[in-house]
Structures are given as structure tokens and as C-alpha cells.
Amino acid sequence: MKRRILHVCLAMLCVAVFCLIFAACNTTEPATAPEGLDDDIHSLMFSLNGVLYTLPLSLAELEANGWEEGEAMADIMLYPHQHRASQRIAKDDREMILVTFFNPTEYVIPLREGMIVLVEVSSLWRTPAPLIVPGNIRLGSTYEEVIIAHGEPSERVMLGTRESLLYYMDDVFANIVINRETDRVTALLLQLLT
């Protein structure tokens, strides 16, 4: 009997040591924010693959860093003061962001000549891009990290297990979506209101 108790205790000790080793191997330091990324969510700054951008921006700025327009964009025209949402921009067919274009002119222009005024990523997509918004917030950041970085939101909206933390001021809007079951960021949206 004593021998059996000793074997059980030894097995439990081995499992505990294995769990500690496994946990230590899987801990990673949180990534630091890219140099120059503002901490203020209202700055409209963001990072994609370590490159800083500020809304509004042109498609050419993204293309200069390897991002490509979706096939359906080629023939789309923007009418004066028109928005066109949910246009897919991809990098190496692996990473994806959604953007909204805006035509600030009095003329009809090709979509690709419009200003990008919104950028969005979601963990629900097959290959979301590594978007980082001010405060070093990204997909997978915790609820606590968001509140520490940006304080209480202007408004909260619950939809099932998802909570949208809405931050707005003047012409800036940010939506940081938290899965309340995991307390992790599952979607990010940054927008210049036009």
C-alpha cells in the first residue's frame, strides 16, 4: 500500500514538473509597440507588419509595402463624397485587412484613388493581418490591457459574448471588440469619420 502511494505521489510530482516546464516554454514576452506608434487612440496611427501608417492614407502607401488590392476593386468608381466599405487588401495572399475608401472630391474617381479612412481586422478571419493600434493593442490583447492603455470607453455595446468598446472623439472612432468569455481582443477597427 505504501509503495502504491509512493508511486502515485511520484507520478503527480512528474506531472507537476512537466506542467511547469511546458508553461515556462510557452510564455512569451508581450511584443513591444513599434517605435513611433502614438499611445493615443485618437491619433489615427496604426502599425501593419512594423510599418507605421496614419489615417487617412492612400492605397499607394500600402502598396509600397507589399499590400495588394482585391481583384474586384479594379472597376469600381467612387462618386463625390461617397464611401465604399469592406474592400479586401491582402499581403502575399496570407494576411488580410478590410478598408473603407472615401472620395473627398467633387468628381467621380476610381476607387484606388480614394482615401482610406477605415482599417479593420478580426480574429474570425482565416488570416488577419498583424494590426497594432495605439497603446500596443492587437488581436489577443487582454481587456485589462485595453483599459490600461485607453481608459474607459465612450460607450459599451454587448452582443452575445462580444463586447464592443467604442472610443470616439471629434472625427475619430475606434471599436475594440472583446470576447467576454476569454477577455481577449477579437477585432479592431480604426476610422476617420468623414
pLDDT digits (tens, 9 = 90+) for 76-111: 899 999 888 668 888 887 788 999 999 999 999 998
* pLDDT average, residue stretch 144-165: 96
* pLDDT average, residue stretch 163-178: 95
Exposure string of 45-81, with b = 16+ CB inside 10 Å and e = fewer, is: bbbbeeeebebbbebeebeeeebebeeebeeeebeee
* Residue labelled with grid coordinates 472623439: 169
Q: Which pLDDT score, from 0 to 100, does residue 92 have?
A: 81
* pLDDT average, residue stretch 136-157: 96
**What is the pLDDT confidence band of residue 144, given thresholds at 50, 70 and 90?**
very high
Can you point out the beta strands (E) in 83-130? 83-91, 95-102, 109-110, 115-122
pLDDT mean across residues, the chain: 82
Of 129 and 133, the one with more pLDDT:
133
Q: Is the pLDDT of residue 37 over 90?
A: yes
Are the C-beta atoms of 62 and 49 separated by less than 8 Å?
no
* pLDDT average, residue stretch 162-168: 96
**What is the pLDDT confidence band of residue 179, given thresholds at 50, 70 and 90?**
very high
The string of pLDDT tens digits covering residues 45-84 is: 999 988 999 999 999 999 999 998 876 777 889 999 988 8
**3-class secondary-structure state, position 194:** coil
Q: Which pLDDT score, from 0 to 100, does residue 75 have?
A: 81
